[in-house]
Amino acid sequence: MNPVTDPRKMPETQRLPRHVGIIMDGNGRWAASRSLPRVEGHRRGVEAVRRTVRAAGDLGIEFLTLYSFSIENWSRPPNEVSDLIGLLKRFIRIDLADLHRSQVRVRIIGIREGLSADLVNLLDEAEELTRHNKGLTLVIAFNYGARQEIADAARALAKKVQAGLLDPDAIGPDDIAAHLYTSGIPDPDLIIRTSGEQRLSNFLLWQAAYSEFVFMPIHWPEFDAAALQEALREYGSRERRFGGLVSRNAMTGS
């Protein structure tokens, strides 16, 4: 086990999040700062994905959600979109066997309609092969947008109401959550964004209602186990109140 990601190196009092979401930002800027083509930044970003998945698994994090491709990313230049799709395909083809051996369960969230048949088949294969694994659940948000996710959930609920299967007055937050792409996945405790930007960019808007946020100045290709642990230490220093108050006993330790 890599000593940097060895959970025994973490402080005994470290409070780990159950679910970490990451907005992987800064591939292009990393490449530009080194006078490299943008695709090289994306390639190095895939290497950062491998490091991060390994580190999260070693630390005992249960769920890791990576924002890999948004609905809005289709508006990028066609060559860059093609590069990004190609890198995703390559990652699945090369890394899926290793992920499976490591008991990683892969889940893909996002819209599959309109994607090429070979890509859909790869996504289906990744989920099916790893469906019964018991280790880290790696959630890849691909062709994903949170507003579209909420709209799709509302549409599904409306169809149930129309069919007489659901009383509209009985609809609550749990019903909406059950119809999101992330149904069955706990809300993220911590969301990390690299590159210094401080916004969600249409990522897990519903699920992030009570998430802690850590914004890191490094670009995604620079992210590694040490950076993950830095974010976890920051998370561990926070007091999560979920809209309530910290009890006096919790504040005093009595």
pLDDT at position 5 is 44
Q: Can you spell out the DSSP letters for 150-189?
A: HHHHHHHHHHHHHTTSS-GGG--HHHHHHTSTTTTSPPPS
127-134 contacts, C-beta under 8 A, 24 or more apart: 129/96, 129/100, 130/96, 130/99, 130/100, 130/104, 130/105, 130/106, 131/105, 132/105, 133/100, 133/103, 133/104, 133/105, 134/103, 134/105
Cα–Cα distance for residue pair 190/170, rounded to 1 Å:
30
Cα–Cα distance for residue pair 139/62, rounded to 1 Å:
11
pLDDT at position 199 is 96
3-class DSSP assignment, residue 144? strand
Going from N- to C-terminal start, the domains of the chain cover 15-145+187-235
Q: Is 73 a catalytic residue?
A: yes
pLDDT at position 240 is 78
pTM assigned to the model: 0.89
Q: Is 25 a catalytic residue?
A: yes
* Contact assessment for residue 197 and residue 216, using Cβ atoms and an 8 Å cutoff: no
Q: Which of 2, 6, 25, 249 is catalytic?
A: 25
pLDDT in tens, the chain (254 residues): 444 444 445 544 468 999 999 999 999 999 999 999 999 999 999 999 999 999 999 999 999 999 999 999 999 999 999 999 999 999 999 999 999 999 999 999 999 999 999 999 999 999 999 999 999 999 999 999 999 999 999 999 999 999 999 999 999 999 999 999 999 999 999 999 999 999 999 999 999 999 999 999 999 999 999 999 999 999 999 987 777 665 545 444 43
Q: Which of 6, 73, 118, 124 is catalytic?
A: 73
Alpha-carbon dihedral 48, 54, 57, 58, rounded to 10 degrees: -120
Q: Tell me 253's DSSP state.
A: T
The architecture of the domain spanning 15-145+187-235 is 3-Layer(aba) Sandwich (3.40)
